[in-house]
Structure 1
């Protein structure tokens, strides 16, 4: 299965630039080839993302409607009851999702009753046999250990953009803060979910820089979400142009080639894509999507489960079977 492409963490900027700038169809062909070496090309992991605490965030991320300082239509919602979250997870599992992600609009995790409740949610979702993922903001090593002990499988913390462009998008924390949290997650033995957003006004060079940071980590993120900016009314980036889908495909294909073992997730922006465009993204190496009803990381619309299952069927794809804990179960 893994005969030709080797995993590398020593990529140079020039090498990634060369791949990124290949003629598009050549790039897609190379990416599709790598994808088939490392993954079953017929399977797509379906992940469901639920906003467990919405809005009121003190950060100033220019793309996000949940920042308290922007006037958007997003309603502030306190942390959901644990039972409600578990019900959502059960429904997601029934719909074919094998990963359940819980997002809270916090700047950082605080050691309080809310975090205790998140720990209970992690335990509850883990007992359903799903991969459980959280995105809760900045995290200390001790907090990461608590989440790992509760059964957390993955932690999402996107780089968003390049280190050079980061301060143009966010001023309330630094790029190094992002890297520190990712390092804390790694040390705790939790898998890393980290990618970025295109369409923020960044250059192609910024996109290449972001991919370089991810691909030269000591261990590649197990999951790499590629997001197109979801333009939220009331945020500083609401008037940015719609991200061109070919640009998304170029990013997905480059990520697939340089991080061959990672799941590459086609994330925000899917609602504005046709089935044809999504099909090209899968061809270029995307093998994971967020599905569900309205809940996504940016609290923006998302295609429904039935639409996604129909799309996969049309393309001859199927939801990825749940593999987590199989070894343990077979030994019992």
Structure 2
């Protein structure tokens, strides 16, 4: 009877094994220049928790191939807060938000320079200058054009500007003043976009990225998961970013802020976040992948596993929410045996 039971267990084990995805073979395919299909990307998001470590290890091979053991740090400066006429449902600064966030126009030179000093002291490679707006007005454009050369000369930082929708002329002006990269997130898949914003379209965001690309700057664009989108919407976003040729992809996990239309929404597990990071790495293997807002809330103690797949994090606070203490990030990077990439052009 014992022999029969052992045979049954063995057969069941083989059956389960046959259903397991060979993520290492997928990684081999990508490393040889191949690409995943949308169906395979969806399978990653549907992976059982039992296969999660196998998935992370395979995605980690791609990270190691293109980024080694390096980690890039980004520092975020909320240069203009609140006062936004758009209705992005996730955002505490939008016109449909009742969240008690600070409201101020673009900061003066001294405050922007002081924030750049902090970015440098924290080992950041990139200083992200962000304003809340549909797009920059002339006063805001002039302020950015004035401060960016000073930041770069004094602190030798890359500068990423996030100013809302941009036309080609504005993009050309940002390039001329020394902006290295512009952030403008797609936020979600095209089919779901109308559920989270109605005051501008997905096509508007794509056009801004094209204007940035055509002006000769790098594109930084990612999104937010956990807003009620389908797994297919997440896959669509990953492939759209690939097709656009985006160089840097920040992946956020919804921090459902009280007072916003998405308050109280907490659908993500740490495993969901790790699967999403792995899928983005497989679809965009050579691109910088950043673990962004909400990592402390949703990845929690599994944050280090995320850096086996991603190669970048924000150090410090986000726009209107607090981040993990910088010393904890430094320790996490050190414990992983990774090193912070600090010099521009490294």
TM-score after normalising by structure 2 = 0.86
Distance 1:239 1:214, change over 3 A: same
1:271: which partner in 2?
296
2:152: which partner in 1?
126
8 Å contact 2:255–2:297 — kept in the other structure?
no
1:186: which partner in 2?
213
Partners in 2 of 1:108 and 1:12 — Cα distance? Answer: 35
SS of the residue corresponding to residue 250 of structure 2 reads strand
Residue 316 of structure 1, CA deviation: 2.2
1:27: which partner in 2?
55
The question of 1:317 aligning with 2:341 is answered: no
8 Å contact 2:315–2:326 — kept in the other structure?
yes
Residue 313 of structure 1, CA deviation: 2.0
8 Å contact 1:134–1:154 — kept in the other structure?
yes
* Larger relative helix fraction: 2
| Structure 1 unpaired stretches of 5+ | 327-332
Residue 177 of structure 1, CA deviation: 0.3
Bigger Rg, which one:
2
1:101: which partner in 2?
128
| Corresponding pairs, count | 315
Listed as ranges, the matches of 1:25-104 within 5 Å are 25-40=53-68, 42-104=69-131
SS of the residue corresponding to residue 276 of structure 2 reads helix
Partners in 2 of 1:162 and 1:229 — Cα distance? Answer: 15
Residue 273 of structure 1, CA deviation: 4.9
| Structure 2 unpaired stretches of 5+ | 1-27
8 Å contact 1:16–1:212 — kept in the other structure?
no
Residues 271-280 or 101-110, more deviating: 271-280
Distance 1:6 1:90, change over 3 A: farther
Partners in 2 of 1:198 and 1:115 — Cα distance? Answer: 31
8 Å contact 2:166–2:208 — kept in the other structure?
yes
TM-score after normalising by structure 1 = 0.90
Partners in 2 of 1:260 and 1:314 — Cα distance? Answer: 24
Residue 267 of structure 1, CA deviation: 0.1
Residue 261 of structure 1, CA deviation: 1.3
Partners in 2 of 1:180 and 1:124 — Cα distance? Answer: 29
The question of 1:222 aligning with 2:222 is answered: no
The question of 1:170 aligning with 2:204 is answered: no
1:304: which partner in 2?
325
Partners in 1 of 2:313 and 2:82 — Cα distance? Answer: 23
Residue 13 of structure 1, CA deviation: 2.3
The question of 1:258 aligning with 2:267 is answered: no
2:172: which partner in 1?
145
8 Å contact 1:43–1:319 — kept in the other structure?
yes
1:154-189 CA distance string (max 9 Å, x none): 111111101000000000010000100000000011
